[in-house]
A and B are shown apart, each in its own frame.
Chain A
Amino acid sequence: GQNIDQPTEMTATEGAIVQINCTYQTSGFNGLFWYQQHAGEAPTFLSYNVLDGLEEKGRFSSFLSRSKGYSYLLLKELQMKDSASYLCAAMDSNYQLIWGAGTKLIIKP
């Protein structure tokens, strides 16, 4: 079957670094997405990885290992506004999105 696993909740301190992991199993693979979703809002696109390696975009970086079925989202210099749910989604061979349940990130001062 197809599935995505990511931690349910994580807590980190303002100014610190946090890494949110995501493992996936899909029928075929056409890339992995990370989204940020604040309560009551639509998910915001953060990153898309289809090749192995690290992609950096400001304070956020995303890493993919296709052989391991593994990705992580790295958030640096955490700010209070980074408190949100982070969704991992993999696209299968039919271009369907398989969604993780989301990781609720709590930032403490």
Chain B
Amino acid sequence: GAVVSQHPSWVICKSGTSVKIECRSLDFQATTMFWYRQFPKQSLMLMATSNEGSKATYEQGVEKDKFLINHASLTLSTLTVTSAHPEDSSFYICSARSPLADTDTQYFGPGTRLTVL
């Protein structure tokens, strides 16, 4: 089946620093990738949708200058949390959609746990 990886799995950083999270589709090309944020035992909150080669579409309330998304290739999307603060601490999950699969199918990554001190 389709596999999506994220790197790093865990990251702890100081307040004010920037953190980059990578999302890769390992065995398929993903024209569309999604970035979610999850709080404990809650629904995934969609932050943005990124399409290869174009600017990401951000959901209302998500600061695009703070959460920079780059979808430079068909297998890689990156989320950079700029000037991170403790309130940015969360579990970030990406998913990827394969153009070959059902258009509704998303393959989810294992998540990246960010802790900002």
Using CB atoms and an 8 Å cutoff, list the residues of chain A in contact with chain B.
35, 37, 39-40, 42-45, 48, 85, 87, 89, 94-99, 101-102, 104
Contacts and interface: CB of A to CB of B under 8 A. Distances in A.
A89 B104 CA distance: 18
Contacts of A37: 106
Interface residues of B, number: 21
A60 to B, nearest CB: 14
Looking at chain A's contact residues, is the secondary structure mostly helix, strand, loop, or mixed? Answer: strand
A51 B113 CA distance: 23
Contacts of B111: 95-97
Closest 6 CB pairs of A and B: A96-B110, A99-B108, A42-B46, A45-B43, A39-B104, A44-B43
Interface string B1-33: 110000001100000000000000000000000
Nearest to B36: A42
Contact of A42 (B2, B44, B102): B44
A22 to B, nearest CB: 14
B104 A35 contact: no
Given A43-B44, A96-B9, 15 more contacts: A42-B44, A43-B36, A45-B41, A45-B43, A85-B104, A87-B108, A96-B110, A96-B111, A97-B93, A97-B110, A98-B110, A99-B108, A101-B2, A104-B102, A104-B104
Interface in B84-102: 93, 102
A4 B48 CA distance: 26
30 contacts: A35-B43, A35-B44, A37-B106, A39-B104, A40-B104, A42-B36, A42-B43, A42-B46, A43-B36, A43-B43, A44-B43, A45-B41, A45-B42, A45-B43, A48-B41, A85-B104, A87-B108, A89-B108, A94-B10, A95-B113, A96-B9, A96-B110, A96-B111, A97-B110, A99-B107, A99-B110, A101-B2, A101-B105, A102-B105, A104-B102
